[in-house]
């Protein structure tokens, strides 16, 4: 958009603009790329991003606002801007409200939106499918026909083609391939094939032959479902899932009867190891760690130590498989020293044309890499990644506008929005339900444009009862449309079909989490898009992503907000609409203000709702204080403007002493032993336990090959 000193230019066809930006992202992206060459890039990750000087903006002209600055956390000056004297055509929507009315000054005193750094990086690509059919593998014919007829799959994915033969040979393996590339079957097929072929037929009462550990309950259910389908012809092999939430008593009863392929979250399994006499690991032939890098993280590590000790104490012979889309060098090295002669399987095809026939040559399995050539994670080719920079005060209306645009005015959209805590999920879920679906500002059916779709909100986080978690998971899985608000419990492994957009409302704490979150869309060769929401002070994060070979293209906040002109529920007092006159920036501001006021009115409708908003804000600040050291220069609590953040929780004023508790907690953390050291020590301990079954070989300095006692 062209710039006219602080006033948004006329947007004659806001509807068309929105559709151009989101419905046809490729051309828009290409246009932005071309425009980018004219911009000054900020290549250095150290340098602060350049300020955008002449861009059209909803933000009024620059002026230091001392009062606002004083309210910045810890008093650190943040560049803020006060409005130019409002003119008839460029006033905030709330300028027109009666004196004394509760209004929100959404478009005043916001920091300038910086020019985004635009580093050019070549993303890592993988080829998803091969032309080889499952028949090419040496599998039981009934297993092949189950894959073909029950799972309705004919050709193998690259990771399956590589992993299945290696695993059938009895090798340990580290498997890394992009999100949604079929890793679950890459291990489930060899497990089922090998167990059904055992000479002495497996009895239910034998107990577990395969142990599959996954980080979340939903993923446990999903993997269980896959195993169950593969076992259709082999009814004597019994699968089972332990995942917490269920009554321990009934899980104990199932364990007593016998489970041959046991899928579990680490915590729940530890529970049973400690309290259930009926669990044993005498027969274990397979140990699978799906999402291995997550399971090896601090937190899960303790549980895993208990599990490995219990398994090692009883089992003589087994294959170990570690899988993830983001197996880091640390995990690879740990596996290298602890697994038996492991094969490293990676489908990376970074520098080669994935469509060329030779590219298959790079699908060869290889020994684990000593060095880390893996610092760029593969991103599905069909995934369009976007970023939008939004001043804190406008975050809430921007998220709402985006959801309205996608889920109300476009068809068949399924959106996942990631937040950093359960409280944030719960707050936004309730707020959107109460304001966008019912109540005074609700989108009453008679106001809905004929092209609109009813909104459906769902939420998923660890504080929900298991019954509800499972119901939500199933509901969203089978829905064609809907908006799922969730924490990172939905980031790993979940295969939710036809998700079209991933929104990261709170930035993730690591590139791996970024990859897993966006990986809930564009799975198995499909298309999808993602949107990362950043505050102006967080723009540098784009460089951090680029250093991991992740490219994002910018979307303008103005384009997202302009959808509000389609919705007469948000008409300003002057009553303008796209029907009566062209929707310009002023109307967009008015409507955004009406929407914000709707949120604020709801939040201030009772003490309970105010307190809920404050708690959510506090939770946000706490989560913000936990970004890792390497990202602190971008996500630092001191860079937050408390008053502006409060607005994004529908609060009219910044609550007092809000960050005191977050700061206290931070200080307490500083007093704790160095977490990094603790993490390293845990990994070493874990490596020792993993290799304990090969103890004699290691102690005598034997080679890896001699470690295996089985």
Nearest distance from C-beta of residue 325 to ligand ATP, angstroms: 4
Specify the stretch interacting with ligand ATP by CB under 6 A; choose among 108-116, 338-346, 360-368, 516-524. Answer: 516-524
CB atoms within 10 A of CB 102: 11
Nearest distance from C-beta of residue 19 to ligand ATP, angstroms: 29
As given in the structure block, the two tokens for residue 258 are 């016998």
Nearest distance from C-beta of residue 292 to ligand ATP, angstroms: 11
d(C-alpha 188, C-alpha 167), whole Å: 10
As given in the structure block, the two tokens for residue 133 are 């059919």
Inter-axis angle of helices 422-432 and 607-624, nearest 10: 140
Nearest distance from C-beta of residue 553 to ligand ATP, angstroms: 23
Residues in contact with ligand ATP, shown as a per-residue x/- string from 430 to 449 under the rule CB under 6 A: --------------------
Residues in contact with ligand ATP, shown as a per-residue x/- string from 523 to 562 under the rule CB under 6 A: xx--------------------------------------
Residues in contact with ligand ATP, shown as a per-residue x/- string from 166 to 195 under the rule CB under 6 A: -------------xxxxxxx----------
Contacts of 668 (CB under 8 A, 6+ apart): none
C-alpha 65: how far from chain center:
36
- Rounded (to 5) percent helix, strand, coil in the chain: 45, 10, 45
CB atoms within 10 A of CB 695: 13
> Which of residues 515 and 621 has its CB atom nearest to ligand ATP in the complex?
515
Nearest distance from C-beta of residue 219 to ligand ATP, angstroms: 8
> Which of residues 428 and 523 has its CB atom nearest to ligand ATP in the complex?
523
d(C-alpha 146, C-alpha 157), whole Å: 17
Q: If DSSP codes are grouped into helix, strand and coil, which group holds residue 344?
A: strand
How many residues touch ligand ATP under the rule CB under 6 A: the total is 17
- Is residue 157 within the footprint of ligand ATP (CB under 6 A)? yes
CA torsion 642→644→646→648, rounded to 10°?
A: -140
Contacts for 704-710: CB closer than 8 Å, 24+ residues apart: 704/340, 704/341, 705/340, 705/341, 707/340, 708/340, 708/341, 709/316, 710/316, 710/317, 710/318
> Which of residues 495 and 558 has its CB atom nearest to ligand ATP in the complex?
495
- Is residue 519 within the footprint of ligand ATP (CB under 6 A)? yes
Q: If DSSP codes are grouped into helix, strand and coil, which group holds residue 128?
A: coil
Specify the stretch interacting with ligand ATP by CB under 6 A; choose among 72-80, 154-162, 276-284, 555-563. Answer: 154-162
Nearest distance from C-beta of residue 229 to ligand ATP, angstroms: 10
Residue listed under structure tokens 């704790």: 672
Nearest distance from C-beta of residue 250 to ligand ATP, angstroms: 27
> Which of residues 80 and 193 has its CB atom nearest to ligand ATP in the complex?
193
Nearest distance from C-beta of residue 52 to ligand ATP, angstroms: 36
433 with 506: CB under 8 angstroms? no
Burial of 286-320, coded b for 16+ CB within 10 Å and e otherwise, reads bbbbbbbbbbbbeebbebbbbbbebbbeebeebbb
> Which of residues 119 and 525 has its CB atom nearest to ligand ATP in the complex?
525
Nearest distance from C-beta of residue 326 to ligand ATP, angstroms: 8
> Which of residues 185 and 295 has its CB atom nearest to ligand ATP in the complex?
185
Q: Pick out residues in 476-505 that bind ligand ATP (CB under 6 A).
A: 493, 495
Question: 3 to each of 54, 87, 589, how far by Cα in Å?
Answer: 6, 17, 17
Nearest distance from C-beta of residue 138 to ligand ATP, angstroms: 17
Q: Pick out residues in 323-352 that bind ligand ATP (CB under 6 A).
A: 325
- Is residue 511 within the footprint of ligand ATP (CB under 6 A)? no
Q: Which residues bind ligand ATP (CB under 6 A)?
A: 153, 156-157, 160, 179-185, 325, 493, 495, 519, 523-524
């Amino acid at each position: 958009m062209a710039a006219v000193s602080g006033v948004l230019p006329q947007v004659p066809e806001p509807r068309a603009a929105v559709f151009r930006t989101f419905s046809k992202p490729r051309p828009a992206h290409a246009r932005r790329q071309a425009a980018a060459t004219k911009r000054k890039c900020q290549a250095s990750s150290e340098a602060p991003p350049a300020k955008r000087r002449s861009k059209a903006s909803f933000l009024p002209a620059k002026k230091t606002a001392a009062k606002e600055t004083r309210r910045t956390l810890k008093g650190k000056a943040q560049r803020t801007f006060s409005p130019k004297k409002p003119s008839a055509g460029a006033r905030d929507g709330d300028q027109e409200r009666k004196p004394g009315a509760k209004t929100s000054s959404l478009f005043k005193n916001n920091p300038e939106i910086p020019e985004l750094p635009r580093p050019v990086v070549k993303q890592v690509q993988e080829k998803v499918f091969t032309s080889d059919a499952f028949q090419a593998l040496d599998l039981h014919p009934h297993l092949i026909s189950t894959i073909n007829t029950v799972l309705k799959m004919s050709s193998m994915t690259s990771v399956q083609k590589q992993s299945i033969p290696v695993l059938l040979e009895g090798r340990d393996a580290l498997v890394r391939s992009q999100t949604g590339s079929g890793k679950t079957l890459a291990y489930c097929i060899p497990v089922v094939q090998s167990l059904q072929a055992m000479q002495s037929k497996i009895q239910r009462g034998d107990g577990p032959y395969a142990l599959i550990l996954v980080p979340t309950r939903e993923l446990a259910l999903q993997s269980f479902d896959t195993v169950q389908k593969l076992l259709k012809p082999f009814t004597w092999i019994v699968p089972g899932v332990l995942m917490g939430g269920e009554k321990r008593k009934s899980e104990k009863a199932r364990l007593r009867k016998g489970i041959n392929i046991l899928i579990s979250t680490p915590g729940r399994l530890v529970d049973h190891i400690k309290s259930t006499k009926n669990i044993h690991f005498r027969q274990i032939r397979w140990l699978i760690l799906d999402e291995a890098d997550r399971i090896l993280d601090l937190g899960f590590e303790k549980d895993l130590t208990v599990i490995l000790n219990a398994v090692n104490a009883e089992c003589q012979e087994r294959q170990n498989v570690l899988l993830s889309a983001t197996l880091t060098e640390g995990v690879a090295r740990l596996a290298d020293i602890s697994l038996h002669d492991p094969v490293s399987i990676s489908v990376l095809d970074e520098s080669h044309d994935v469509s060329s026939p030779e590219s298959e040559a790079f699908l060869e399995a290889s020994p684990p890499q000593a060095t880390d050539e893996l610092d760029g994670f593969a991103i599905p080719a069909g995934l369009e990644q976007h970023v939008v920079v939004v001043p804190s005060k406008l975050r809430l209306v921007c998220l709402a506008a985006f959801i309205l645009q996608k889920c109300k005015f476009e068809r068949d959209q399924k959106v996942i929005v990631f937040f950093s805590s359960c409280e944030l999920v719960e707050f936004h879920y309730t707020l959107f339900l109460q304001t966008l679906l019912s109540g005074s500002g609700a989108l009453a059916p008679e106001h809905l444009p004929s092209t609109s779709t009813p909104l459906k909100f769902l939420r998923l986080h660890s504080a929900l009862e298991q019954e509800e978690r499972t119901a939500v998971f199933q509901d969203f899985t089978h829905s064609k449309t809907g908006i799922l608000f969730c924490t990172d419990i939905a980031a790993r492994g979940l295969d939710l079909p036809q998700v079209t957009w991933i929104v990261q409302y709170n930035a993730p704490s690591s590139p791996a989490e970024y990859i897993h979150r966006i990986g809930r869309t564009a799975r198995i060769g499909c298309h999808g898009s993602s949107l990362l929401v950043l505050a102006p002070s967080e723009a540098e994060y784009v460089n951090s992503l680029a250093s991991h070979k992740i490219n994002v293209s910018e979307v303008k906040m103005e384009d997202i907000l302009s959808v509000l002109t389609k919705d007469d529920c948000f008409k300003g007092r002057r009553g303008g609409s796209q029907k009566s006159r062209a929707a310009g920036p002023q109307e967009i501001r008015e409507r955004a203000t009406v929407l914000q006021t709707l949120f604020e009115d709801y939040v201030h409708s009772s003490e309970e709702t105010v307190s809920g908003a404050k708690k959510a804000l506090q939770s946000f600040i706490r989560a913000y204080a936990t970004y890792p050291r390497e990202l602190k220069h971008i996500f630092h609590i001191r860079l937050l403007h408390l008053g502006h953040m409060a607005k994004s929780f529908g609060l009219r004023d910044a609550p007092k002493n809000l960050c005191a508790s977050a700061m206290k907690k931070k200080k307490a953390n500083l007093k704790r032993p160095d977490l990094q050291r603790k993490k390293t020590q845990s990994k070493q301990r874990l490596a020792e336990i993993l290799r304990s079954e090969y103890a004699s070989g290691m102690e005598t300095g034997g080679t890896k090959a001699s470690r295996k006692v089985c």
